[in-house]
Amino acid sequence: MAEKTIVIGAGPAGLSCAFELAKGKQEVSLYESSPYIGGMSRSFELWGQRVDLGPHRFFSKQKEINEFFTELVKDDFTLVNRQTRIYYRNRFFDYPIKLGNVMKNLPIGVIFQVGWYYGLQMINPIKDPKNFEEWVTNKFGKKLFEIFFKNYTEKLWGIKCTEIDADWAAQRIKTLTLLGAVKAAMFGNKGNKHKTLVDQFAYPKNGTGTLYERAAEAIQAHGGDVQTSTPIKRVILSENHERVVGVEFADGRIENADHVVSTMPLTLLIQGFENVPAKVQQAVNALYFRNTILVYLEVDADNLFTDNWLYIHAPNVKHGRITNFRNWCPTLNRDKKTTIICMEYWCFEQDELWTGDEQVLIDLGKKEIREINLIPDDVGILNTKVIKIPRCYPVYETGYQENMNAIIDFLTPIKGLHPIGRYGAFKYNNQDHSILMGLLAADKIAHRKEVDLWQINTDTEYQEDGKIKDVLVQ
């Protein structure tokens, strides 16, 4: 008798897993609690144009990810020239940095301080840095940390840099160095292997969600089942936690399964179990997520700024990133002469931004976008929309890995349970990481491959090599 797999969640991890299983003639059903396909990477229609939930790009040298992308998107994508800048002290800094731009934007005294503090740090480095501030200061010096890391990072996470685990820095900026960035600024970015310095990326012509919409269609075409607006209350385990039994839906229905691939938040997964050991429950209670609020503005102009997205390091505004969808792919704009931008705010569930009135967020977005001079005073804002996304970012608070280790030790022996994805594995995945998790989970289920899914994204060097020939066009 064929084994049955239930996949929870229609984001990149869940859809890639279900797609691979269905293509291999495995019995699979995917259930998504929301009405939408794509998770945080979905696309949708807005004011006659097409947008995403913030910026999402494809850039991977991983063979499995490339094949997944090209099989579904085929040639229906474009290569987008990346421009992203940092807004700091009323000025815009090119990223990757360019020496002329830095010299123009920073006072000479500050440039001297960057070099001075970097030299001091090289002479007397912090041994075994434990938190984000120590790790970044060790790598770039105190002044550069204060300019380009501190404010933005604390906006994103809502806690001090000294309270963020060094793992966050190690995963996201591991291979970037000050000398490497200066070299790129002087000699160009050729051969630079760090992902944040990549100059071009692949993008589906109808939005990043195209990949996942097509994955859902393909799952059904291969005989799998995809159901949206179908929330799952809990995953059911055998009495001794030895194996997965199935799932219970929010309406009380129960469906049996041999395997459950869970992309629901890891904390909610374990909270649904019965008789969880106290140590594990304590570890779960110590983990938490950060929420995102997206404020979309339709602006009556088509040439606001040339960036795909901007990092807002200004301490006088609350938003941290702005996406300009006019600068991604012409097919998104549908020949309209207006521009849709997306402003990102990050908060916790108890914060006033999250609990307050939607009009307050709209007014705040309108005010702040003009405050940093991205929209001239004489240009109108035609439409607004607010989207709130709970539990977007797993917070890497200092010492979180000890709690994760207790949880992993508890979950690993449970036969047939496979937590994956940004939410499910409590990892700050790019969509590339989540796709890889899904594909490898399917391989583990269908072919009994020995794969430690928890290890994915502990070292991101495998992901991108900075060469345009590897951008999913082979």
Q: Give the per-residue pLDDT at 420.
A: 97
Q: Which two tokens stand for residue 294?
A: 């997206």
Cβ atoms of 289 and 265 within 8 Å: the answer is: yes
196 part of a folded domain: no
342 part of a folded domain: yes
- Residues in contact with 380: Cβ distance below 8 Å, sequence separation at least 6, in sequence order: 299, 300
| Sign of the four-CA dihedral 182, 396, 356, 300 | positive
348 and 294 within one domain: yes
Q: Give the per-residue pLDDT at 58.
A: 80
| pTM of model > 0.75 | yes
| Sign of the four-CA dihedral 206, 195, 470, 23 | negative
86 part of a folded domain: no
168 phi, psi to nearest 5 deg: -60, -50
281 and 403 within one domain: yes
Which domain CATH number covers 321?
3.90.660.20
407 part of a folded domain: yes
Which domain CATH number covers 259?
3.50.50.60
End-to-end, the C-alpha distance of the chain in Å comes to 39
Cβ atoms of 283 and 269 within 8 Å: the answer is: no
381 and 435 within one domain: no
What's the rounded Cα separation, in Å, for the pair 436 and 442? 10
- What is the extent of the structural domain holding 409? 4-43+64-71+206-287+396-457
Q: Give the per-residue pLDDT at 181.
A: 58
CA angle 376, 380, 386 (to 5 degrees): 105
Q: Give the per-residue pLDDT at 457.
A: 67
283 and 297 within one domain: no
Looking at the DSSP bridge assignments, the partners of residue 27 are 4
Q: Give the per-residue pLDDT at 147.
A: 85
DSSP string, 314-379: -TTSS--EEEEGGGT-HHHHTT-S-EEEEEEEEE-TTSHHHHS-HHHHHHHHHHHHHHTTSS-TTS
Q: Choose among 178, 48, 194, 70: nearest CA to 121.
A: 178
453 and 311 within one domain: no
Letter for the amino acid at 111? I
* Number of structural domains the chain divides into: 3
Q: In what order do the strands lie in the sheet with 27-31?
A: 225-227, 27-31, 4-8, 259-262, 417-419
389 and 316 within one domain: yes
Give CA torsion, residues 409, 413, 418, 420, to 10 deg: 10
Distance of CA 63 to the CA centre of its chain: 20
Cβ atoms of 228 and 36 within 8 Å: the answer is: yes
Per-residue pLDDT of the chain (474 residues; tens, 9 = 90+): 579 999 999 999 999 999 999 999 999 999 999 999 999 999 999 999 999 999 998 877 788 898 999 999 999 999 998 889 998 888 888 876 566 777 788 888 988 888 888 899 889 988 888 899 999 898 888 988 888 889 999 999 999 999 999 887 776 665 555 666 555 555 555 554 444 445 788 899 999 999 999 999 999 999 999 999 999 999 999 989 999 999 999 999 999 999 999 999 999 999 999 999 999 999 999 999 999 999 999 999 999 999 999 999 888 999 999 999 999 999 999 999 999 999 999 999 999 999 999 999 999 999 999 999 899 889 999 999 999 999 999 999 998 999 999 999 999 999 999 999 999 999 988 898 899 999 999 999 998 888 889 988 655 443 444 332 222 222
Q: Which two tokens stand for residue 217?
A: 């269609």
Cβ atoms of 57 and 459 within 8 Å: the answer is: no
Q: Give the per-residue pLDDT at 177.
A: 59
Cis peptide before 96 (omega within 30 of 0): yes
- Residue 264 CB coordination number (10 Å): 22
Q: Choose among 327, 38, 340, 68: nearest CA to 208.
A: 38
428 and 446 within one domain: yes
106 and 11 within one domain: no
Instruction: Give the max Cα distance, the chain.
Output: 73
83 part of a folded domain: no
Q: Which two tokens stand for residue 65?
A: 């990810």
453 and 375 within one domain: no
Distance of CA 23 to the CA centre of its chain: 27
418 and 283 within one domain: yes
48 part of a folded domain: no
52 part of a folded domain: no
Q: Give the per-residue pLDDT at 473.
A: 27
390 and 409 within one domain: no
372 and 326 within one domain: yes
90 part of a folded domain: no
Q: Which two tokens stand for residue 151?
A: 């404010």
Q: Choose among 256, 315, 294, 280: nearest CA to 402.
A: 280
Which domain CATH number covers 138?
1.10.3110
